[in-house]
Structure 1
Amino acid sequence: MFTATRVIIAATAVALLAGCASQNPYDNQGQAQGSSGMSKTAKYGGLGALAGAVAGAAIDHNNRGKGALIGAAVVGAGAAGYGYYADKQEAALRASMANTGVQVQREGDQIKLIMPGNITFATDSSAIAPSFYSPLNNLANSFKQFSQNSIEIVGYTDSTGSRQHNMDLSQARAQSVATYLTSQGVDGSHLSVRGAGPDQPIASNADANGRAQNRRVEVNLKPIPGQQYPQQ
Structure 2
Amino acid sequence: MKLGRVVLSALCTVSLVATSACVTDPNTGHKKVSRTAIGATAGVVGGLVIGGLLGGGTGRIIGAGIGGVIGGSIGYTMDKQIKELKEQTAGSGVDVKAVDDGQAILVNLPNGVTFDTDSTLIKPGFRDTLDTVAASLNKFPNSLIDVYGHTDSTGSDAYNQTLSENRARVVADYLVSKGVSQARIRSTGFGKTQPVASNDTPEGRAANRRVEIKIVPISQEEVARARGGS
Q: TM-score, normalised by structure 2?
A: 0.73
Determine if the alignment matches structure 1 residue 227 to structure 2 residue 223. Answer: yes
Determine if the alignment matches structure 1 residue 181 to structure 2 residue 181. Answer: no
Q: Which moved more, 1:44-53 or 1:195-204?
A: 44-53
Secondary structure of 1:112 counterpart: strand
Q: Which runs of 5+ in 1 are unaligned?
A: 1-8, 54-76
Percent of aligned pairs with the same residue?
36
Determine if the alignment matches structure 1 residue 168 to structure 2 residue 162. Answer: yes
Q: How far apart are residue 178 of structure 1 and its match?
A: 0.9
Candidates 27, 32, 38, aligned match of 2:31? 38
Secondary structure of 1:142 counterpart: helix
Q: How well do the aligned residues superpose, as a CA RMSD in angstroms?
A: 2.5
CA–CA distance in structure 2, aligned partners of residues 44 and 149 of structure 1: 14
Secondary structure of 1:15 counterpart: coil
Candidates 141, 144, 159, aligned match of 2:138? 144
Contact 2:152 2:195 in 1 (8 A): yes
Q: Which runs of 5+ in 2 are unaligned?
A: 1-10, 45-68, 225-230
Q: How far apart are residue 203 of structure 1 and its match?
A: 0.8
CA–CA distance in structure 1, aligned partners of residues 218 and 37 of structure 2: 20
Q: Which has the higher contact order (CA 8 A, sep 6+)?
A: 2
CA–CA distance in structure 1, aligned partners of residues 107 and 210 of structure 2: 10
Residue type of the partner of 1:95?
E
Residue type of the partner of 1:155?
G
Q: Which moved more, 1:91-100 or 1:155-164?
A: 91-100
| CA offsets 1:177-201 (integer angstroms, 9 cap, x no match) | 0111111111111000010110110
Contact 1:154 1:218 in 2 (8 A): yes
Contact 1:110 1:222 in 2 (8 A): yes
Determine if the alignment matches structure 1 residue 95 to structure 2 residue 95. Answer: no
Instruction: Name the residue aligned to 1:82.
Output: 74
Q: How far apart are residue 227 of structure 1 and its match?
A: 3.3
CA–CA distance in structure 1, aligned partners of residues 111 and 42 of structure 2: 39
Determine if the alignment matches structure 1 residue 51 to structure 2 residue 42. Answer: yes
Residue type of the partner of 2:156?
S
